[in-house]
Structure 1
C-alpha cells in the first residue's frame, strides 16, 4: 500500500535547542515522533507550546495535533471552499506558513506539476485567523485568497531582474519538452518557504526553485513581500522588496521561520530535486548578512525529507516535519 493514497504518518524530529547558538551536531542521535492522519506534511505553525497546525500538500485540510498525544489530529479544517478550488486537480499544494499574532499566512507552490502542466489551483496566497484556544480552537479564512501573486512577482522589477519570467512562462504556448523543463522540481518556479519578520510587517518568500547561477555557485532566492495584510484584506497589488541571494551549497529553501529564543531565523535548505541533501541554516535577519550553516540534517531515519520546521515560544526543541507521502506504511484504515 502506498502512503500517498492511504493517509498514514507524519514524522517529526527534535533537532536541537532554539535557546542556544549551537543546534545539535551533525549526525546527533535525536528523538523522533510519529503522528497519524496525514502523510504529506508541507507547512506548519505552532498554536501553543504543545500543539501545532499542519498543512498537507496533497489536500486542502489543515490538521491540529497535540505533541504529547502522538496520535490522530484533534481537529481538522477543510479550506477547499474558502480557497475556491476547482474540482479538477483539486489540491492547492500548500507549501509554506508563518504566524503573525493570531493570523497565519499560507502560500502554495505557485508551480507547475511534475509534468510541467499548469494547475491553477496551486496559485494561492491566503490567511487564516485563529479563534479560541486548546481543543476549542477554530481556524477561519480571512478576506479573499490572492491568485495573482505569481503574475505580480514575475512582472515586478525584482522579478524581471531575476528572470523569473523564464521560470514561469505563464502565458506561453509551450512544446512538451519546454513544458517539462518548467516542472517545479526541474527549472520552474517553486515556492516552499514563508517567514514573517519579528514585527510582522514583512513576509519572506523562499524559493526551492529556480536557483540563480552566479560566478561561484547557484544562489537560493528570498523575496520580501511588504504588504501581505493589504493583499489579503483589500486585494491590494503585491509590493516586493529587494531580493536576497544566498549561497546554501546549491540548495533551495524548503522552510524558514523566526525563532524568538535565538532572535534569528532558522531555515531548512535542500536540493531542488529529490536528492537527500538537507541542511539547517541560521540567519540574523540582516539583509546584508548571509545565513550560516548550523548542521547537516542526518536523522538516521530512512527517507526523512524535511519540509517544515516549527520553533516554539517556550519549548527548547525545534521540530522538523518530514513529507512521507512516498513511503509505504501499513495502517488500520483510510483515516489512519
Structure 2
C-alpha cells in the first residue's frame, strides 16, 4: 500500500483531539462526503510508524467489531472553512519572504527584496520553487540590481507588486527601487504563465504632486516630501530605517464605485505616531503609462508601528496588516482592520519567527480564516554567515500559519 498523508495530530494523552488536515486531507474529506464508498479507511501513526491505529471500512462489516465514529467540521474555528496545514515550510533559493500572494489553496507566489526573481512554491513543503521567472529586463533593470520588492496584491488574475521606493541603508538615492508593476497570471501551477503586463518608475514623483490627488492633505504631503527629498543624492538621515520614505504594504481595497482600487502602506514616515495609507485609484492605467491618481490618506493607529505588509482577506472581509518599527528592532504585530476609514485596527497577536528573522508578508487563502505569515531571514545566521550572503542553493526562508477570527 502507498498511503497519502492527510494531516497531523498531536495527542499527549487520551481524550478528544483534532486532526489538522493538509490540502490532500481536505480534498479526501470532501470526496468522502460526496461519495462515502470512496472512504476505504485511515491510518493514524507516529512519525517512526511504530505505533499505529488502522481504521478500515471492512472492519465495520463484522458484527462483533467495535466501531469508531469519525466526525469532522469545516475547521477554522467553527465555520471558518478548510484549514491550512500548519507545517512550517522551508522555501529554498532565497532568504526573503518579502511579499506573497496565494495562487490557489496549495501554491503561493513569492517576491523578495534581494533580487528580481518571481518564485512559486508549494506551501508546507521543504523544496525549491515549482516555477520561477526573473523579471529584471522587463522592468528595465540588470540582474544584479536590487529593486527591493516589498508587497503584492491580487485583483482577479492580475497581481500588482511594489518596490520600497526608498533609499539604501546609507541614505543614497536608489532609483532602481522605484518600481510599480503588474503581473498577469494564466493557467495553473506547475504550468502557470506569468507575464509582466506593465510598469512605472514614476509612482513616487506622482505621489508628491498635490495635483494628482482627489483629496490632497497638505500635512501628509509635506511629511512625504520631507522623507523623500528626491533632489538630494545622499543623506544618512533619509535612510529607510531613520527618517526616509519607505513603502512596504500593498493591498486591494475595492470600493462600490472602483473595484480596482488599491491601498499603499508606508513603513516610514508616520504622522503623530500613526501609520500612513494612501489609496491608488487607477493602478491598471498607471502600469500602462498614465499618471497615478491618489484618492485619500488613511491614518491608522498601529500603536506607533508602521506598515510591514497589507492584504485584503475575503474570508474575513477585512484588511490584515503586519505592523513593525522603522528599524528592525522591536515588536512586530498582526492587526485586523475592517477597511472602514472611521474604524480602528485591532491587534490579533505578536508575530515572532526564528532568530534573525522578521515577519514580512501576510498571505490570505480563499475560503479559510487561516493565514500564512512569511518571514524575511536575510540576517539569519547559517553556520556563522548571514543567509543573504550564502549561495542560492543554501538560502531559504520559512513561514507560520495563524488563525484569525
- Under TM normalisation by the shorter chain, which class is it? 0.7 to 0.9
Task: Give the whole-Å Cα distance in 1 for the aligned partners of 2:279 and 2:293.
Answer: 8
Contact 1:279/1:295 (CA < 8 Å) preserved in 2?
yes
Question: Counterparts of 1:183-332 in structure 2 under 5 Å?
Answer: 183-198=239-254, 200-213=259-272, 218-233=273-288, 235-299=289-353, 301-329=354-382
2:139 is matched with 83
Q: 1 CA distance for matches of 2:131 and 2:285?
A: 29
**Structure 1 regions of 5+ residues with no counterpart?**
1-16, 24-29
Match of 2:35 in 1: none
CA distance in structure 1 between the partners assigned to 2:141 and 2:375 by the alignment: 26
Segments of structure 2 that go 5 or more residues without pairing to the other structure are 1-73, 81-85, 395-405
The structure that has the greater radius of gyration is 2
Q: Map 1:54-93; keep pairs closer than 5 Å.
A: 54-86=110-142, 90-93=145-148
2:176 matched to 1:117? no
Q: C-alpha distance in 2, partners of 1:19/1:248? A: 26
Alpha-carbon deviations, 1:295-329, whole Å to 9, x = none? 12245x32330000111003442110110011122
Q: CA offset at residue 18 of structure 1? A: 10
Instruction: Determine helix, strand or coil for the equivalent of 1:115.
Output: coil
Match status 1:126 vs 2:175: no
Aligned partner of 1:45 among 83, 101, 113: 101
Contact kept in structure 2, 1:205 and 1:222, CA below 8 Å: yes
Counterparts of 2:188 and 2:244, CA distance in 1: 40
Q: Is the 8 A contact 1:196 1:204 kept in 2?
A: yes
Distance 1:302-1:169 versus aligned 2 partners, 3 A rule: same
Task: Write the distance in 2 (CA, Å) between the matches of 1:272 and 1:84.
Answer: 29
CA distance in 1, matches of 2:87, 2:125: 15
Distance across 1 between alignment mates of 2:156 and 2:103: 10
Conserved in 2, the CA contact under 8 Å of 1:282 and 1:292? yes
Aligned-residue CA RMSD (Å): 2.4
Secondary structure at 1:243 match in 2: strand
In the aligned structure 1, how far is the partner of 2:77 from the partner of 2:171?
43
Per the TM alignment, residue 77 of structure 1 is displaced from its structure 2 partner at its CA by 0.7
CA distance in 2, matches of 1:263, 1:314: 11
Alignment check: 8 A CA contact 1:18 1:262 kept = no
1:46-79 deviations in Å (ceiling 9; x for gaps) = 0110000001101000101011432111111100
Among candidates 197, 202, 211, match of residue 148 of structure 1 = 202
Q: How many positions carry a matched residue from both structures?
A: 302
Match of 2:159 in 1: 104
Q: Distance in 1 between matches of 2:391 and 2:309?
A: 31
Partners of 1:294 and 1:18 in 2: CA distance: 19
TM-score of the two chains, using structure 2 as the length reference: 0.70
Q: Deviations over 1:80-124 (max 9, x none)?
A: 01000157x611111010000000000000000000001111000
Superposition deviation, residue 139 in structure 1: 0.8
CA-to-aligned-CA distance 1:183-206 (integer Å, 9 cap, x gap): 111111100000002464210000
Q: Are the equivalent residues in 2 in contact too, given 1:281–1:292 (CA < 8 A)?
A: yes
> Bigger shift: 65-74 or 257-266?
65-74
Q: Is the 8 A contact 2:154 2:252 kept in 1?
A: yes
Q: Distance in 2 between matches of 1:79 and 1:276?
A: 33
Is this contact kept in 2: 1:86–1:121, CA < 8 A? no
1:139 aligns with one of 185, 194, 197: 194
Using the size of structure 1 for normalisation, the TM-score is 0.84
**Distance in 2 between the 1:68 and 1:278 partners?**
23
Higher mean displacement: 186-195 or 197-206: 197-206
Partner Cα separation in structure 2 for residue 18 and residue 96 of structure 1: 29
